Structure 1
Amino acid sequence: MPIPERGGLIARSLLRDDAFRSIRSAIVDGTLAPGERINDGDLAQWLGVSRTPVREALARLEEAGLVQTKPGRYTMVSPLDPRAVRAAQSVVAAMHELAVREAVPTMSPAEIEAMRAANARFAAALRADDVEAAIAADDEFHEVAVTASGNPALAAVLDQFTPVLRRLERLRFSSLRGRESVDLHDRIIALCERRDSEGAGAVARANWQALDPLVQAALGDVAQPA
């Protein structure tokens, strides 16, 4: 059988996607700090791939607002931009509200239990001051409603804008303020059990708006002259 002309595109796509996720994770967790200049050759060596998927990944990261490029001059991790963070917060809060409202009418007991279990892991991670585990558990909690909504557009939008907030949320979850989310999650679960889609959606939005004090403080620090 002749080799299909499109053969190899899957492998290239996987390399590009893997590079994108790896570099994005390094930006979100602070391994690549805001304002740090990055080189596609160094990233390719680190990831064990060619420069092509790295360059494609960097182009996607620039669209997501996590990387800035000056062609022929430099590529760097985007500094924390107050306007970008505010915009991302508004979009993420609205999308999670919509996800919960769409998910609640058909949410199963197993899905509600998955939310409860994720919130228990979230609370335990906060008590242990384990920021990585807290963020992972928080993602798992919110992902239940996003998946249950059956709306792929929601997932796509959140995948683009949530990483912008995650850099700040690391500060939130390493402080006592992060513990407020546990109570908000519990309220969302209770409202989902009562099939109150409007109420649950409103609390889901409030959960992401609770970032306001941290956003104000962190972005105020960024705005201060060196």
Structure 2
Amino acid sequence: MLSDDVFEQLKALIMNSSIPPGARMNIEDLARQLQVSPTPVREALARLESEGLTVKLPLKGYRTTDLLNADEVRNQYELRLLLEVPSAKKAAHSMSIAHAESLREEMQSIGEPPTGSRYESYQTLTAHDTRFHQLILSFAGNDMVRQAVERTHCHLHIFRLTYGGPFGENTVAEHATIADALLKGDGAAAERAMHSHLVQSRDRVLAKLP
């Protein structure tokens, strides 16, 4: 439990840029700041590395990863368009009663879109965004595609750049459109809705970059 708590605290510091992108992270200093021993800090940093938020430097400890630049954002969305759009169509044609129940439960989990400007306010939306897209990929039945998208940690990286306000509202509304098409088993509509969602999400992010 202590390790989980330290992990969440460090993750919030990174997501809020309290620890800036590209900054060195000293285990002893972080342990003193969080009033814990170095062990849970070390464990948390390793977990954050697996989420793409930290990088281990040989003989130097860890640093936070850099924010995505415009080209990297475009590349991530290009990959997602290639993989997630046809997967949405396939998922719609593969919907079972159990799939439909899981999707409805996920859509009910989000509640009101967040409007705050800190990670704590949009943490629930970030988790929902990840689960929602992974759920659709799992319905499509290609585990290699699901893992390929999962390894990009795209949701966390995108939410480090822009979140809250219209971004959150639009994300929830677009997810609802995709979910509706999936629940109807309408592959063409699911494909269109996923394509529209990813393109609009990409353009919202790019509009906030310098």
Same fold (TM over 0.5): yes
The 1:181–1:48 alpha-carbon spacing in structure 2 relative to 1, beyond 3 Å, is closer
Q: Say whether 1:143 aligns with 2:131.
A: no
Distance in 1 (CA, whole Å) between partners of 2:8 and 2:151 is 15
Question: What is residue 144 of structure 2 aligned with on the other side?
Answer: 153
Distance in 2 (CA, whole Å) between partners of 1:95 and 1:22 is 30
Question: What is residue 92 of structure 1 aligned with on the other side?
Answer: 80
Q: Report SS of the residue matched to 1:81.
A: coil
Question: What is residue 194 of structure 1 aligned with on the other side?
Answer: 184
Q: Report SS of the residue matched to 1:210.
A: helix
Aligned with 2:65 (options 78, 82, 97)? 78
- Pairwise CA distance, 1:37: 0.9
Question: What is residue 15 of structure 1 aligned with on the other side?
Answer: none
Question: What is residue 153 of structure 2 aligned with on the other side?
Answer: 162
Q: Report SS of the residue matched to 1:76.
A: strand
The 1:187–1:75 alpha-carbon spacing in structure 2 relative to 1, beyond 3 Å, is same
Q: CA-atom RMSD, angstroms?
A: 3.6
The 1:153–1:37 alpha-carbon spacing in structure 2 relative to 1, beyond 3 Å, is same
- Pairwise CA distance, 1:41: 6.7
Question: What is residue 7 of structure 1 aligned with on the other side?
Answer: none
- Pairwise CA distance, 1:126: 1.1
Letter in 1 for 2:129: D
Distance in 1 (CA, whole Å) between partners of 2:44 and 2:203 is 36
Structure 2, unaligned runs of 5 or more: 32-36
Q: Provide the TM-score with structure 1 as the length reference.
A: 0.65
Asked if structure 2 preserves the Cα contact closer than 8 Å seen for 1:102 and 1:149, the reply is: yes
Structure 1, unaligned runs of 5 or more: 1-17, 221-226
Distance in 2 (CA, whole Å) between partners of 1:166 and 1:138 is 9
1:77-110 Cα offsets, whole Å, 9 max, x none, are 2222312222222223433223322222221133
Letter in 1 for 2:79: V
Residues paired across the two proteins, number: 194
Q: Report SS of the residue matched to 1:87.
A: helix
1:50-90 Cα offsets, whole Å, 9 max, x none, are x7x789768767xx5x5556656675222223122222222
Distance in 1 (CA, whole Å) between partners of 2:191 and 2:112 is 25
Question: What is residue 33 of structure 1 aligned with on the other side?
Answer: 20
Question: What is residue 207 of structure 2 aligned with on the other side?
Answer: 217
Question: What is residue 48 of structure 1 aligned with on the other side?
Answer: 40
Asked if structure 1 preserves the Cα contact closer than 8 Å seen for 2:26 and 2:62, the reply is: yes
Distance in 2 (CA, whole Å) between partners of 1:117 and 1:185 is 13
Letter in 1 for 2:193: V
The 1:119–1:56 alpha-carbon spacing in structure 2 relative to 1, beyond 3 Å, is closer
Asked if structure 2 preserves the Cα contact closer than 8 Å seen for 1:134 and 1:173, the reply is: no
Q: Report SS of the residue matched to 2:63.
A: strand
- Pairwise CA distance, 1:148: 1.6
Question: What is residue 223 of structure 1 aligned with on the other side?
Answer: none
Superposition pairs for residues 88-127 of structure 1, below 5 Å?
88-122=76-110, 124-126=111-113
1:172-195 Cα offsets, whole Å, 9 max, x none, are 441123212222222212222332
Asked if structure 1 preserves the Cα contact closer than 8 Å seen for 2:114 and 2:165, the reply is: no
